[in-house]
Chains A and B, each alone.
Chain A
Amino acid sequence: EPEVTQTPSHQVTQMGQEVILRCVPISNHLYFYWYRQILGQKVEFLVSFYNNEISEKSEIFDDQFSVERPDGSNFTLKIRSTKLEDSAMYFCASILGISGPGELFFGEGSRLTVL
């Protein structure tokens, strides 16, 4: 079964450092997403990406964040100057996105710990 893969599974960083979280969406999917989940809280939308550009972003997704699709397979989330409150699980997701709604497939997540 196709799956969304994410690396690293866990990243520990010092406050103020930059981190890059990587995702490989399912190969024929067209829409990609990053979500964040702070421990014990709900899954929060960060950004969606389609046709090589951001299609929608939440108020959480400020100038500290950026996304990129550097090649035909990877989809990255960069967090600059990390803060303690950035500690969370970050989930990448993708959907096929053709002719109507469809299942949103999630990766296993990248746990970010900011010290």
Chain B
Amino acid sequence: GESVGLHLPTLSVQEGDNSIINCAYSNSASDYFIWYKQESGKGPQFIIDIRSNMDKRQGQRVTVLLNKTVKHLSLQIAATQPGDSAVYFCAESPTGNQFYFGTGTSLTVIP
């Protein structure tokens, strides 16, 4: 299978600060990437996606950066709020119909 990994398993940030969550992927043929948020006891929830023909995409308070040269993906959350506390997964898709997930980073926002 594919290998998608995260640099840090846990991250703690102060409320109001920006958060950066990183992800490394292994398949250079992957052309679609998604960030998911998973709260305790719930299913993964889509946050933002990006295709390989882009290197940056912005949503509401979130930005995804893609560096294909080093096969690295990051999720930036601006003005982190307590409700952002969750586990964040990246997923890569080499085919558009198959997705491989990373281990996840647990984000804790300190009020």
Contacts and interface: CB of A to CB of B under 8 A. Distances in A.
Contact of A91 (B44, B91, B102): B44
Nearest to A59: B1
- With most chain A CB atoms within 10 A of its CB, the pick from B43, B99, B100 is B43
B43 A108 contact: yes
Contacts of A45: 1, 98-101
A55 B44 contact: no
B51 A43 contact: no
Interface in A89-115: 91, 95, 97, 100-109
Contacts of B99: 33, 45, 104
Given A95-B97, A100-B96, A103-B34, A108 B103 contact: no
Nearest to A50: B97
Q: Range of interface residues on chain B? A: 20 to 34
A43 B97 contact: no
A104 B34 contact: yes
Contacts of A55: 97
A100 B96 CA distance: 6
A34 interface: no
B42 A109 contact: yes
Contacts of B36: 106
Interface of B: 1, 31-32, 34, 36, 41-46, 49, 51, 89, 91, 93, 96-104
Interface of A: 4, 31, 33, 35, 41-45, 48, 50, 55-56, 58, 91, 95, 97, 100-109
